Structure 1
């Protein structure tokens, strides 16, 4: 009987190791809907994923160490060499303690999670002191790597983009995949690419005696708010709703001013959406690296990046690209280089230029004039129209091989 005791203990330890492996695979593979169906205990465990993971790994580590400590005694009882016993033990742990239970956990995650949640919750409580010590060590390492304090992420945007691309290829998603891919791409789009630049900002000066011109311009541009400045666009004090100016025309502007959010131009559009959600706002002033006003941005600008211009042609907005025939196009000076590349599949220039107007300005090396002509990337660009100091429209022509 005594000879069978180590074998029984080893099998029990192997079962516990399989329990940890199956529960880890099942719980961490649950989606939001699966978490709801897996029961309240499983959902509660997943509210603290790091504590859960550290507890599972610590428990499994202890079990495996005790299991391998029994190997010499098992080898002596069976008359095996220590090396042969170690090989069998390793094979048993890999197959029965890892691969098989994790496969089961991935195939039936809700059932396994529901079955293992209660005992696993007890393990999490028992290992709390050891887990706190392990977490302290983890924090020291993360701080040394510069990762401490960052939120835990369940999936990277790169991984999500790969999943969406594969799903679209398998016809699992159609237009939904395209839209979700655009959402993922928001993480790589800078605010400066979608903002209204400072030269196009209609602002209301705090000292203005008559707000009517600014109100009329805002209504024409279909804007619901105006930045309020003190003597210049780089001194933004806040913002004012156009409806408030119309409702209380007799009130001084400073009584209607509300705080406005400032965001850096290098922030991603995805971070901008998070800012809007957290602050319960829909507009912000964009600042450059020197603290000056670079532009303004709204939640509508982000949505237009996803689904296109929200305003119809009947509302008076000309398309950014107008085909003229025979490889010729008339484009807005504010057309972004990224949009050009997406529309025409042509890598026009590196991304250091944000717009076609910026490209023309850089190639000329001076202020453009109507009729100026430059070439880049197998294209001829002709300044068609200037508005003040801005390049409003540019005519593009694809050069023939002999012209390049």
Structure 2
């Protein structure tokens, strides 16, 4: 065996060198094309090696052609020398031993030439790219004419022949594509956690409806324009609201809004002359579009109507913004937690908590798309207006009705039930 190794020392050495080149090209490809735009910009100001690495990425397709062509040449040379070595080894160790050597050489190429350098380069992309930039730039320049010929004589004609002609694609980016980009940006450190969460919440507006955030009709504070002015002034003082919807005779006949500022600064002006227009939006309207409509109309309140034209509730600009940034503190607003932990796997939940917020709190998938609140979910599960103390189970949660106001579930006790094995 020692005699065999002496006779084929140059071939063995060549294989080791080729393994090194294969690892170099594989790692370089992974490290360079794994860099984010922010990391590339950082390379441009990190020294000579970084600037060289960034310049290589100015023409990514040509760089990729160089890497693939060089790696292919290395692998072909490795396969050829390996074949000669295996055939020669068959005379010393037999055909079975030669087959084992052949498999071992292939495994070495896969592990040392592909898997290990790619794995390393994906973890330390910046450092690997800077270390490989100098030698790779020399090889890239030397192989330039060959790569150009390879690309224009072989690749491009085959591409036009085999690939179907691409139809013009829309330049619009979908919400799913934006969500994917945000996920990748957060994972690579391009965005900090706070910015990523904020942008994710903005994207989530496309999946939410007005019914998810509106103030329901039964909770609306509105004023009958036929009532005395003093009652409206008292209502503003009591509620601390800046504007109120007003109706003529019946809540379904909303005629507009009255602003507290105009009311108190114009004590002699008749109420009907203080009314300003209000916009109406349908119950299933997309929250993102409603936000845009509020901005265009320069107003902060919209009246929500159902399919029959009746008033279903109202939505405010503040309600929509709170879906993005969380609760906005108000000097006159009572601070409370809609979900309160009261014991082991036990919570008190307000019945008017939005169903999508509840699902997010407990990390579950929404099953009831037409229900807006947790209280509504319990009513749907029971099939009737519940009384305090009634219970119903949904998945691994046991709901107990704590209090009912009118025909509405006000508060619930939720207990996580752990099934016995």
Query: Does TM, normalized by the shorter one, top 0.5?
Result: yes
**Residues 250 and 180 of structure 1, relative CA distance in 2, 3 Å threshold:** same
The residue number in structure 1 matching 2:202 is 183
1:250 & 1:198 partners in 2: Cα distance?
31
Cα deviation digits, residues 356-391 of structure 1 (max 9, x gap): 110122122222222222221221212212223322
**Residues 356 and 89 of structure 1, relative CA distance in 2, 3 Å threshold:** same
Shift of 1:218: 4.5
Shift of 1:154: 2.4
1:230 & 1:341 partners in 2: Cα distance?
39
Mapping of 1:32-47 within 5 angstroms?
A: none
Mapping of 1:354-365 within 5 angstroms?
A: 354-365=372-383
Aligned match of 1:324 in 342, 347, 350?
342
Matched, 1:394 2:416: no
Matched, 1:379 2:388: no
Contact 1:381 1:395 in 2 (8 A): yes
Shift of 1:227: 0.8
Shift of 1:194: 0.7
Matched, 1:309 2:327: yes
Shift of 1:265: 1.6
Matched, 1:353 2:378: no
Shift of 1:348: 6.3
Contact 2:368 2:377 in 1 (8 A): no
The residue number in structure 1 matching 2:265 is 247
1:258 & 1:333 partners in 2: Cα distance?
33
2:403 & 2:156 partners in 1: Cα distance?
77
- Relative to the length of structure 2, the TM-score reads 0.57
1:367 & 1:262 partners in 2: Cα distance?
30
Shift of 1:210: 4.0
Greater CA deviation, 218-227 or 356-365?
Answer: 218-227
Greater CA deviation, 246-255 or 307-316?
Answer: 307-316
Tell me, what secondary structure is at the counterpart of 2:303? strand
Larger radius of gyration: 2
The residue number in structure 2 matching 1:193 is 212
1:313 & 1:223 partners in 2: Cα distance?
11
Greater CA deviation, 337-346 or 219-228?
Answer: 219-228
Shift of 1:327: 1.0
1:313 & 1:243 partners in 2: Cα distance?
17
- Relative to the length of structure 1, the TM-score reads 0.60
Contact 1:338 1:351 in 2 (8 A): no
Cα deviation digits, residues 57-95 of structure 1 (max 9, x gap): xxxxxxxxxxxxxxxxxxxxxxxxxxxxxxx98855577
Contact 1:375 1:381 in 2 (8 A): yes
Tell me, what secondary structure is at the counterpart of 1:273? helix
Cα deviation digits, residues 225-267 of structure 1 (max 9, x gap): 1111112211111111122222234433211111100111211
The residue number in structure 2 matching 1:13 is none
Tell me, what secondary structure is at the counterpart of 1:285? strand
2:306 & 2:178 partners in 1: Cα distance?
31
Cα deviation digits, residues 72-120 of structure 1 (max 9, x gap): xxxxxxxxxxxxxxxx988555779xx9xxxxxxxxxxxxxxxxxxxxx
Q: RMSD across aligned C-alpha pairs, in angstroms?
A: 3.0
The unaligned stretches of length 5 or more in structure 1 are 1-87, 100-137, 139-151
Mapping of 1:4-403 within 5 angstroms?
A: 92=156, 154-174=172-192, 175-212=194-231, 214-311=232-329, 315-347=333-365, 349-402=367-420
